[in-house]
Structure 1
């Protein structure tokens, strides 16, 4: 019976046969240092209500980490960013976040402006950058100083609410960024750059004879964010798409490999060949 197999003997035999016993930790993805324009506030500059978790599981756009609400206690958590604006004027306001498929599609945001409060809903599953420039909450008039603010909440959120920072860009400067006359200063997202790094990440979690050998056995730390795998997909959903890792076989090992790769920032396609 399987229960009577000596685990030590089995482990030694598997190692002798060159099998993968423990996955090496994938290298952490990182973006080049960002130099965005305007007034930029990192996640640590906010005033938080409720318990928010700091994470660096995915590469952040500002600083070395971001924060999320752990998808718990909807309506009990919020964060307010209050900038010190140098002059009265029209500013483009941007919520900086790290997107992935477990994020909320309906993050409620209140922008307190010189003309009153404006409510905006943000889909954090969409890429944060649009042609290299962060998506905007809108353009609003603000007084000089600290009278305005941006408040992000998790009320009614249908996924994880993530905050990496907030950016206030004078409208004229934002026009130059969106017309391509000035760089936004934000490094590209993992899907747009860092090909060699992403290949290394995929190889580190792939269980395959073609995977480069890695010295020693390193146990990966547990993830602090679950991964939402799509239940099903049609051929049209995947045709023409690029993936860092394709796992064929919906076995326990295949699913574990796919989840591990997704947690480390790879784009993964899991194929069940029996369907």
Structure 2
């Protein structure tokens, strides 16, 4: 099943619970379910991109801070999908390109990627944290329409950027989350109509020191929303961040060796 993974960088669970009206409306209609998960440590971006996409904790992957700039040594969703003959794409921050395609990131070469031999075959990558989320979702939809990827990663940065400027308790941070929810409301109904499985989550949260990296609940508690026929919608599924890679691979129908959150999936079909 074709799958879209949306990683809303820096989105705390409480803010997602309170601010994401469209996503909750879809859940209320029986189209999805919301869960709370605890991110791995340290609660930093690059280590958790790697965790989400490979299922490997930062202390094991070696991607333990944002300055570790090298290709991943792990198998990611992109690798498994390509080995299974599927098409991959990403509209994402340039660190994702550095982890799975090429490093260092060279904008003239890597910003717009179309290379069937790379793990991420088609990509629009940005390197400025203020790159508008509205543009990023448009980039993603362009990839979807032009390349029909089986797996598409969408990774906007404005929630995290606003949190670093104003803090967890600020109206600016909450309103930026509302804006992301609004962008999803523009694009997600069509994805669901076309049968995509959609996962919306975050790498980490944000604290009132305008940072993250530690163990505070506001830094580590993040949302996971799931939508589509692949999911059981059980309230007690209790997924882990390290299980997202394997669960996505299971939905895609490709071979993998990663842990799966079986209760998250519809019984008897995928798990």
If asked which structure has higher relative contact order (CA below 8 Å, sep 6+), I would say 2
| Structure with greater helix share of residues | 2
Largest Rg, 1 or 2: 1
TM-score (norm 1): 0.26
TM-score (norm 2): 0.27
